[in-house]
Structure 1
Amino acid sequence: MSRAFVNEDAGLDRPDLPELPVPPGPNIMTPRGLAALRDRLARRTTELVALRARHDRLDKLPEAAAERDIRWLEARLKAAVVIDPAAHDLTEVAFGLAVTVADEHGRETTYEIVGEDEADAPSGRIAPTSPLARALIGARIGDVVTWRRPAGTMQLEILRIAHADSPA
């Protein structure tokens, strides 16, 4: 076939992007996580409107990415199950609560157990499915738990349990 009859621009108006994986099952989150997810959806929707309003729309990739992100955010919101940590008493570590632990060297660290979409390890927010959260959930003040990590196990003593927005 002659190259003169090949449309080299075919498919450029609608790039195919792989979908973002949506985990199966409920999306357990705190009220703060729900608000953050809604904010992300609102921002991404506003960005999509701005992208569609561009005069030069030859590159459709940014629009396709925004549309894909919006589909993912909507799916995560549809699966949202909000657990309010304020409903928990502070007798044992539970979802949404902040827990302060001391390691074997006496160093104190505070972690908050939050939903998968809220998790941010550098901020001390960990997902309930993480090995650390699994070790902490259900523990009480004074308990020593074993955190199984790739670098080896670590013993952590539970010092304080608090609501995340309250002072420890």
Structure 2
Amino acid sequence: MSVAFVKEESAEAAQETLLPDRPVSPHPNLVTEDGLKALQAQLQAARDAYETANAIEDVNERRRQSAGPLRDARYFTERVRTAQVMPVPEDKSVVAFGSTVTFSRDDGRVQTYRVVGEDEADPKAGSISYVSPVARALSGKAVGDLVTVGQHELEIVAIG
């Protein structure tokens, strides 16, 4: 029988609908309160997108459209489940998770970042992951301390 008369989708089409899971970091899933709220919102958005995709009548198109949201829902479910909300640091004398730190670079630039969880980090918006090289180098340091990251020297100017 010709393949044209068979309703089953091809192996190639089936492969399109089976997306690999998003990689989950091996580090503890530390988050701020806002970070947990963002994860929960992203999980809800993935669930909503999945429901919308499931309303598509064509089975092959439904599978293709639901693959991404389903993968995202699995990822965000795991991230919400493993989230460890960290309190806002009370001690402003040293850099810690949740701190906002301002430092000057050896090239004269002054930068300010908040140290946050991996999923909420956005350097362009002023936040870096606690596992990033810069955050690791700054962690536990005080105003005036110098740290070396790669070939650059950073001096902590302020901690908030």
Shared fold (TM-score, shorter chain, > 0.5): yes
- 1:129-168 equivalence runs, <5 A: 129-148=131-150, 153-162=151-160
Aligned match of 2:95: 93
Specify the SS of the correspondent of 2:60: coil
Question: Letter of the aligned partner of 2:158 in structure 1?
Answer: R
CA-CA distance at 1:5 after TM superposition: 9.3
Question: Letter of the aligned partner of 1:156 in structure 2?
Answer: L
Identity rate, percent: 37
Provide the rounded CA distance (Å) in 2 between the counterparts of 1:144 and 1:80.
Answer: 32
CA-CA distance at 1:24 after TM superposition: 3.3
Specify the SS of the correspondent of 1:58: helix
Contact 1:88-1:94 at 8 Å conserved across structures: no
Aligned match of 1:65: 68
The number of equivalent residue pairs is 156
TM-score (norm 2): 0.86
Structure 1: stretches of 5+ with no match in the other structure: 163-168
**Aligned counterpart in structure 1 of residue 130 of structure 2, from 128, 131, 138:** 128
Aligned match of 2:110: 108
Aligned match of 1:9: 9
Structure 2: stretches of 5+ with no match in the other structure: none
Aligned match of 2:33: 31
CA-CA distance at 1:6 after TM superposition: 8.7
Provide the rounded CA distance (Å) in 1 between the counterparts of 2:33 and 2:70.
Answer: 25
CA-CA distance at 1:82 after TM superposition: 0.7
Which of structure 1's runs of 4+ aligned residues deviate more than 3 A?
2-8, 10-14, 55-58
Please, what is the CA RMSD of the aligned residues?
Answer: 2.2
Deviations 1:96-146 (A, max 9, x none): 111001112432110111101111122231111111111110110111111
